[in-house]
A = this chain, B = another copy of it.
Amino acid sequence: MKVLIIGSVAAGTSVAAKARRNNEEIEIVIYEKDSDISYSGCGLPYYIGEDYIQREDLTPRNPSWFKKRFNLDIKVLHEVLSVDHEKKEVSVKNLSSGEEFIDKYDKLVFATGASPIIPPIENLENDFTFMLRNVNQADKVSEFVEQNKPKNAVIIGAGYIGLELAENLKHIGIDVTIVERGSLPMPNLDKDVAVHIAKELRNNTVTFMGNESVKGIIYNDEEKLVQLESGKTIATDFVVVCVGVKPVTQLAQNIGVDIGYKGAISVDKFMQTNINDVYAVGDCALSYSAIDNNPIWVPLGSTANKMGRICGDHITGGTLSFQGILGTGIFKLFDLSVGMTGLTEQQAIEKDYNYVVHHNYKPNQSQYLKTSKEMMIKMLADKDTGKVLGAQIVGKNGVDKRVDVIATAITFGATAEQLFHLDLAYAPPFSTTKDPVHYSGMVLNNAIKGNNQIITPQQLNANRDEFVVIDVRANHQYESAHIEGAINIPLAKIREEYKTISKEQKVVVHCNKGVSGNAAQNILLNLGFKEVYNLSGGFKNYKNVASI
């Protein structure tokens, strides 16, 4: 049997390695039109910013390593021009020699990846505007920086790569302006989470221009200008376009492979396309949500690796099957980590879930340690089933841990209540006695099963007139800033002073972050108030949201 794989970054080499692990006999050939293989695409922003990272660090494995280890042939600078599926053959061009030839296969795997979206910007092709998708493109940015010692950069697009690049450029002394169509960075996240990212950019003097799109680039010997649709212009030394990627599927489409959501190749749980003996893996292949089984497309190296291994196993008779994804992701931006898994609130609304949501501000470790930092977990659960739907987390330390714990819990259909029961590892340097994850689970469970309803700042503001707002913080905190129209009854006095308010009134209570608000809510409910909401994340969260 001969396995022919098109593409050799993460997914393609995973297919090959797993197939060989399972079987010594089959022939395995990979065609890669680029010169680099098996590289870390996610490492590119670091490669540009950190001088200790060498090209070899990102591309540790060459075809000869794969030959020795796995007895397989990776032919770089070889482009597959077309596929004849009836004859089970491909026509290939050797990009070095120009020679074209035909090769046969028994199993064909598309691992063609994704390519940068090229936005319709005038004069985009010039010698100071770059994409950032592969090592060669990163090399070009690095070379430009080294030769021209630029002072300023414009990054178009505020997704993962754009933000990570912004940080890395700042580290080497370049001033950065990010231009983004959306109002905030990371448009896929909820706005009340993204606002923390915008703040981190401000704190690190990266200029963020939201609600802007680029019309064109103007340049002459004197200056280089990025021209916005709004009429503004930004003088810069160079530009990096990071507006996202799209699946590379033309070859597959040419032979009638089914294309699905977001233009990615439809595959089953074994990574098979609709055409016999043709597979697709990695960024060119469609995934599905482990929460609701709907198709999602989240191109990431971690998923590509899994798909590759499953495909290689299936080709050689194994039983592994793809289990879907949660859209888990994470990135670091200066001192901030931002992670997400499962559904955002925006997605829960679009999908019409009956959900509860909570903003949980908590230290990542025992508060008396000097290194303790606050994080914010925005978590959603399904009011009907109690199940955790998703979380977005921002903070300085320990964000990755909580994302992974929640992702693991969601995978197994955990309810909010079950989060509280988790036996997580506690010692002062690692956590608090109740971990932030426990706390989020408790609060959501109380909202689902009990009567401890939560209201978000947006929900409160949308119906402000319906509620009496009680600020239970100390007088001096209330005096320095408070929600318009809120009345101040410090928690310690609420058992007396509640009497001024009718029990029939809809009441919103809040403290600084939510805990005393919860105590006040319980007291009022136990005293017979009919409808009491605790403001999610307290005044701290309210202020953050107000800045959107």
Task: Give the interface of A toward B (CB within 8 A).
Answer: 10, 20-25, 40, 42-43, 46, 50, 52-54, 57-58, 68-71, 160, 164, 290, 300-306, 309, 319-320, 322-332, 337, 339, 341, 366-370, 398, 400-401, 403-405, 407-409, 411-414, 417-418, 420-431, 433-435, 442, 449, 491-492, 495, 516, 518-519, 522-523, 526-527
A408-B405, A495-B71 given as contacts; is B366 within 8 A of A423 (CB)?
no
- Residue in chain B with minimal CB distance to A519: B69
Interface centre among A52, A58, A68 (most CB of B within 10 A): A68
Minimum CB–CB distance for A302 against chain B, Å: 4
Query: A326 vs B431: C-alpha distance in the bound complex, in angstroms?
Result: 17
- Cβ contacts A to B, 23 pairs, < 8 Å: A21-B518, A24-B523, A42-B427, A50-B370, A57-B367, A68-B491, A69-B491, A69-B492, A164-B427, A300-B426, A301-B426, A302-B423, A320-B417, A322-B421, A326-B423, A337-B429, A398-B400, A403-B424, A403-B425, A407-B424, A411-B418, A412-B413, A412-B414
Minimum CB–CB distance for A289 against chain B, Å: 10
Considering the complex of A and B, which 3 residue pairs feature the smallest CB-CB distances, nearest first? A412-B412, A57-B368, A24-B526
Q: Which of B398, B433, B522 contacts A21 (CB 8 A)?
A: B522
Q: Which of B54, B404, B425, B428 contacts A43 (CB 8 A)?
A: B428
| Residues A330 and B425 in contact, CB atoms below 8 Å apart | yes
Query: A417 vs B322: C-alpha distance in the bound complex, in angstroms?
Result: 11
Query: A408 vs B422: C-alpha distance in the bound complex, in angstroms?
Result: 6
**Using Cβ atoms and an 8 Å threshold, which residues of chain B touch A332?**
427, 429-430
Q: Which of B24, B425, B526 contacts A339 (CB 8 A)?
A: B425
Minimum CB–CB distance for A148 against chain B, Å: 25
Copies in the complex: 2
Query: A301 vs B366: C-alpha distance in the bound complex, in angstroms?
Result: 12
**Using Cβ atoms and an 8 Å threshold, which residues of chain B touch A164?**
427
| Residues B433 and A40 in contact, CB atoms below 8 Å apart | yes
| Residues A323 and B421 in contact, CB atoms below 8 Å apart | yes
- Residue in chain B with minimal CB distance to A406: B408
A401-B404, A414-B412 given as contacts; is B523 within 8 A of A306 (CB)?
no
- Residue in chain B with minimal CB distance to A57: B368
Query: A95 vs B526: C-alpha distance in the bound complex, in angstroms?
Result: 35
| Residues B401 and A424 in contact, CB atoms below 8 Å apart | no
**Using Cβ atoms and an 8 Å threshold, which residues of chain B touch A518?**
21
| Residues B421 and A404 in contact, CB atoms below 8 Å apart | no
| Residues B369 and A420 in contact, CB atoms below 8 Å apart | no
Minimum CB–CB distance for A12 against chain B, Å: 14
- Residue in chain B with minimal CB distance to A71: B495
| Residues B328 and A424 in contact, CB atoms below 8 Å apart | yes
Q: Which of B309, B325, B428 contacts A46 (CB 8 A)?
A: B428
**Using Cβ atoms and an 8 Å threshold, which residues of chain B touch A309?**
420, 442
- Residue in chain B with minimal CB distance to A429: B332
| Residues B21 and A519 in contact, CB atoms below 8 Å apart | yes
**Using Cβ atoms and an 8 Å threshold, which residues of chain B touch A426?**
42, 300-302, 328-330
Interface centre among A327, A491, A522 (most CB of B within 10 A): A522
| Residues A68 and B341 in contact, CB atoms below 8 Å apart | no
Query: A25 vs B527: C-alpha distance in the bound complex, in angstroms?
Result: 9
Q: Which of B303, B431, B495, B516 contacts A423 (CB 8 A)?
A: B303
